[in-house]
Amino acid sequence: MSTRIAPLSGFPEWLPAERVVEQAFLDIIRETFELHGFVSVETRAVEPVSRLLGKGGDADKEIYGVHRLAGDAESGADPDGEAEQSDPDKALGLHFDLTVPFARYVLENAGKLTFPFRRYQIQKVWRGERPQEGRFREFTQCDIDIVDAGSLAAHYEAEMPLVIADVFSKLPIGDYRIQVNNRKIPEGFYLGLGLTDVVGTLRIVDKLDKIGPEGVTELLASAGATDEQIGQCLALAEISSTDTTFADRVRALGVSHPTLDEGLAELTAVMEAAMAQRPGVLVADLRVARGLDYYTGTVYETQLVGHESYGSVCSGGRYDALASDGRTTYPGVGISIGLSRLLARLVSTGAVRASRPTPTCVVVALGVEEDRARATAVAAELRGRGIATEIAPSAAKFGKQIRFADRRGIPFVWFLGAEGASDSVKDIRSGEQVDAESATWTPPAEDLRPVLERVED
């Protein structure tokens, strides 16, 4: 085997201590999704390339294709006839999000699901884009979506970010802000202004954070917009509020269009529900657009306060036409926590850590190898009562046993008693050692499993 091992750029892997943090996040996310009645779905990693293309905006060129290395010689004998790479209906690619595969899953299984269908999905996705801070080629997404057959009630658009707010209230991520917009607002506004290339205009205005008002002005002008139209587009993008006052400010700009009215009404309803349940968490921000092409109404993005330039850590929106079998359409709304992105920032800045890098609570020390059977019995009894326990790898002196635990962050060392004497257990942090029986001893609740700790700056 080659001796040179280098990490692959864009394919992050955690060390055990970081993975413990990720697992704690995953557990809280999953538990909260389930408390809100979402059922778990996992989809295969691959989709036909034809199903991936044209759904992801700029993502098309980021798709990873998948093919058997054995190549065509073998596949001639393959009755499933997969993977002529040149045929996008047969060629396979790794999914770049979880919404497109979920839409396909709904269509494939519509007869076996009950609607409205609430599902969560926590999986890796792949995008062949250029790696940079917080942007990976392989990363974990945590999605919730609700889809219905025919039509989807508007109240779900308010529910999505409130489920996320419930999740985030349990995670040590600091202050955050969920920004919400409705695509019908810029669409109606641009149409009302006489700008008919809605998608083109949206894409330019979406670059506001990156290239500033001057850059946007320049691009809109070369696309043929007048100074007045440009001024109005920028004025719209400047509007935000944590209540429903955004609507009056939009109307004050004097543009009118039925689609604009629809968008304002829908966004107002979302903000009203949010203000009733979690005031201050949602911000109506008319700059938010989302890059993916399939959104048709409400859209969400989420910023960590103080890390705004890092980009969104939780995004989504409503899509009305993603899943359709020609007879029935399944409109949906969803939101996705970019877990790898979120964790990369929290872990790299040292803001969050785990109380220890291992599940092990107790290591049973071995003075002599002959005691291994006794140690195994003690360990089995502790495990049976839910206490994670391992046994020293080899017999060793007292000091070496303590160092073994200390190097791994294991809080307790168990010592087998000499004949007739009681066992004892030592908290290696305090040095306190007490007599103990494996049938009854219990660690303090906060030591039973590793827990998350927020490190304040």
Residues 6+ apart with CB under 8 A from 266: 154, 157, 182, 184, 297, 298
Q: Is 290 annotated as a binding residue?
A: yes
CA-to-CA separations, 9 to 14, 129, 140, 201, 345, in angstroms, rounded? 14, 11, 16, 34, 17
Candidates 176-184, 186-194, 300-308, 316-324: pick the segment binding a second copy (CB under 8 A): 316-324
Bridge partners of 94? 46
Q: What is the token pair recorded at 58?
A: 């700029």
Residue with tokens 């991936």: 52
Q: Are 261 and 251 in contact (CB under 8 A)?
A: no
Candidates 55-63, 178-186, 205-213, 232-240: pick the segment binding a second copy (CB under 8 A): 55-63
Instruction: Write out the binding residues for a second copy, residues 365-384 only, by CB under 8 A.
Output: 372-373, 376, 380, 383
In terms of CB distance, is 112 or 397 closer to a second copy?
A: 112
Of positions 28, 57, 135, 148, contacts a second copy by CB under 8 A: 148
Could you tell me the smallest distance in angstroms from the CB atom of residue 359 to a second copy?
A: 4
Residue 135 contacts a second copy per CB under 8 A:
no
Q: Are 121 and 143 in contact (CB under 8 A)?
A: yes
Of positions 72, 386, 400, 435, contacts a second copy by CB under 8 A: 386
Candidates 60-68, 179-187, 231-239, 240-248: pick the segment binding a second copy (CB under 8 A): 60-68
Q: Is 97 annotated as a binding residue?
A: yes
Q: Is 295 annotated as a binding residue?
A: yes
Q: Is 99 annotated as a binding residue?
A: yes
CA dihedral 87, 92, 95, 101 (to 10 degrees): 80
Instruction: Write out the binding residues for a second copy, residues 220-259 only, by CB under 8 A.
Output: none
Buried b (16+ CB within 10 A) or exposed e, 308-337: eebbbbbbbbbbbebbeeeeebbbbbbbbb
Quick check: bond before 48 cis, omega within 30?
no
In terms of CB distance, is 189 or 319 closer to a second copy?
A: 319
Could you tell me the smallest distance in angstroms from the CB atom of residue 138 to a second copy?
A: 5
Three-state DSSP class for residue 174: coil
- Tell how far CA 150 is from the center of its chain: 28
Q: Are 99 and 319 in contact (CB under 8 A)?
A: yes
Of positions 208, 234, 388, 396, contacts a second copy by CB under 8 A: 388
Instruction: Write out the binding residues for a second copy, residues 62-121 only, by CB under 8 A.
Output: 62-70, 74, 78, 80, 82, 89, 92-94, 104-105, 107-109, 112-114, 116, 118-119
Q: Is 127 annotated as a binding residue?
A: yes
Q: Which residues are annotated as a binding site?
A: 97-99, 127, 141, 145, 290, 294-295
Q: Which residues are annotated as a binding site for L-histidine?
A: 97-99, 127, 141, 145, 290, 294-295
